[in-house]
Every structure is written in C-alpha cells, then in structure tokens.
C-alpha cells in the first residue's frame, strides 16, 4: 500500500543535477518544499538552477561544484554537507561503440562515476539515516541493466551493478525506516545520447517528468525497483527472462543503427 511522503523542510542531495533527470528531480522536490544540495561539475549552471528554485519555492538550494569520479569526492561532499534526508545518485554517463575503439581513461571514469561514486555516497550517508530511522536512497539505473548491450557494454554493465546493488540494499534495509529504490528509465528526452556519442533512440521517448512521477510512486510503495513506462517494462522483462543467445543479437541490432 502506498504511503504519503512529506518532504517539506527535508534536505535532499541530488548528483548530476545540472541537466536532464537530475534537474527534474530538483524541480520536483523543491515544489514539495524540500531543501536541496545540488552537485555536478557545472557550477555556473547549478547556481542558476538553485537561484530559480529558491525564488519560485522559498526553499534553500546549496550548490557543490565537484567531480564525483575523483577519489575522496564523497567525503569532501559530506564534510560540506554532513546531514541529508534523501540521496539521489543520478550522476553518470554512457559510452558507445566497440570496446577496443573507446578511450580507456573515459571508460575508467564511466565505471568509477556510475558505480564507485554511487557506492561511496551511499555508504557515506547511510549510517546517519539508519541512526535517525528515516531517509531514502534513490539510485538511477536503466533498462540497459536487464541485459547485455553490445556497443554499450560498459554502460549496461554499470547499470546492472546499480540495479543489483540497490535491490540488495533494499533487502538489508527492511524494517529500518530507510528506503532504497532503483529507478530504471528507458530512452528519455535528455542529452544522454549526445554525450554517449550515439544517435537518439528510435520512436517516442519518455520525458524527465515521466521518470520523476514513476520515482515518487515507487518511493511511496517502498518498491525496490521501478521501470519507467509500460513499453520499457515489457522490454526489461524480455531482457531479463529471454535466452541470452536471442536477447544479445536483438539488442545488438537495435544498437547498430546508432553512430
């Protein structure tokens, strides 16, 4: 049964808040009267977002310009902002192409940001939530988490890690008052494909507002995982239960049409 969640006067930390889904989360939580800590490398953009949200909603929005893929980033963040009521691990990016053609340094950064930084931040902020017996951790996975994806092998593997990690964490947190939720968007209208160096997905894409609505529903239901959109849910089911010898070629053909 869904429960009503009150976020007013809570402090929500959002990584990757300078664009796309991260900005949409910031806007949604500000509208619910939560105070924000916005984290990304783009300080100037964050400050514009923070100023707008403070004026519109009368909340406090602090900005931290930080590269979360660097060692010790989570502790630096906690030193500045030791207490949060909610953590949204949204920062991440994908790479596209055959593995042997990709920049090793960029791939390493992808793994560190998508997986390492997410775990570090979770482990850094979780103890206080457990002490207070309340709070939530939202980790952004992907429908790519449900099957291997040729030409996005590393990205899909990082999101499979995020999905497994979050579901296990949800199991560990039962009865503690702290919630963990893996959010799995499919193709969404953001700059993701541009950054990854791939063409946008064919067909209609979901919006960032769709993802946010799905997130709030999953959080209220204390779900461990939500997939945004019915068609994406069907694709995720196919990727999860279909024979790998069938699934991998199908996904590979889907990706072959992109740069």
Question: Among this protein's residues, is 125 annotated catalytic?
Answer: no
Strand partners of residue 14: 38, 88
> Which DSSP symbol is given to 76?
H
Q: Is 132:121 a contact under the CB 8 Å cutoff?
A: no
Q: Is 229:210 a contact under the CB 8 Å cutoff?
A: yes
Phi, psi at 12, each rounded to 5°: -115, 125
Phi, psi at 80, each rounded to 5°: -80, -35
- Cα angle value 92/96/102 (rounded, 5°): 100
Q: For residue 205, give the 3-state DSSP assignment.
A: coil
Alpha carbons 236 and 214: distance in angstroms, whole number: 15
Token readout for 78 is 């906690």
**At how many degrees (to 10) do helices 118-132 and 73-80 cross?**
40
Strand partners of residue 13: 37, 87
First to last CA, the chain: 44
Q: For residue 151, give the 3-state DSSP assignment.
A: coil
Q: Which of 155, 165, 192, 193 is catalytic?
A: 155
Alpha carbons 29 and 17: distance in angstroms, whole number: 12
Enzyme catalytic residues? 155
């Amino acid at each position: 049964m869904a429960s009503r969640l009150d976020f007013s006067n809570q402090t929500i930390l959002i990584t990757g808040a300078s664009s796309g889904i991260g900005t949409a989360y910031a806007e949604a939580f500000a509208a619910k009267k939560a105070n924000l800590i916005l984290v990304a490398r783009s300080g100037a953009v964050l400050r514009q977002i923070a100023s707008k949200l403070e004026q519109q909603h009368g909340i406090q929005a602090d900005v931290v310009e930080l590269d979360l893929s660097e060692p010790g980033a989570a502790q630096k963040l906690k030193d500045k902002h030791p207490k949060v009521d909610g953590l949204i691990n949204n920062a991440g990016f994908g790479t596209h192409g055959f593995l042997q053609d990709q920049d090793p340094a960029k791939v390493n950064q992808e793994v560190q940001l998508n997986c390492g930084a997410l775990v570090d931040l979770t482990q850094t902020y979780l103890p206080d939530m457990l002490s207070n017996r309340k709070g939530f951790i939202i980790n952004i996975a992907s429908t790519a988490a449900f099957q291997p994806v040729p030409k996005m092998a590393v990205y899909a593997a990082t999101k499979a890690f995020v999905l497994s990690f979050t579901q296990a964490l949800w199991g560990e947190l039962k009865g503690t008052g702290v919630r963990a939720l893996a959010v799995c968007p499919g193709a969404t209208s953001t700059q993701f494909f541009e950054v990854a160096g791939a063409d946008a997905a064919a067909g209609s894409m979901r919006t960032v507002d769709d993802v946010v609505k799905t997130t709030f529903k999953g959080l209220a239901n204390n779900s461990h995982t939500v997939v945004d959109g019915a068609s994406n849910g069907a694709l995720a089911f196919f990727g999860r239960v279909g024979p790998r010898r069938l699934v991998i070629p199908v996904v590979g053909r889907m990706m072959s049409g992109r740069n």
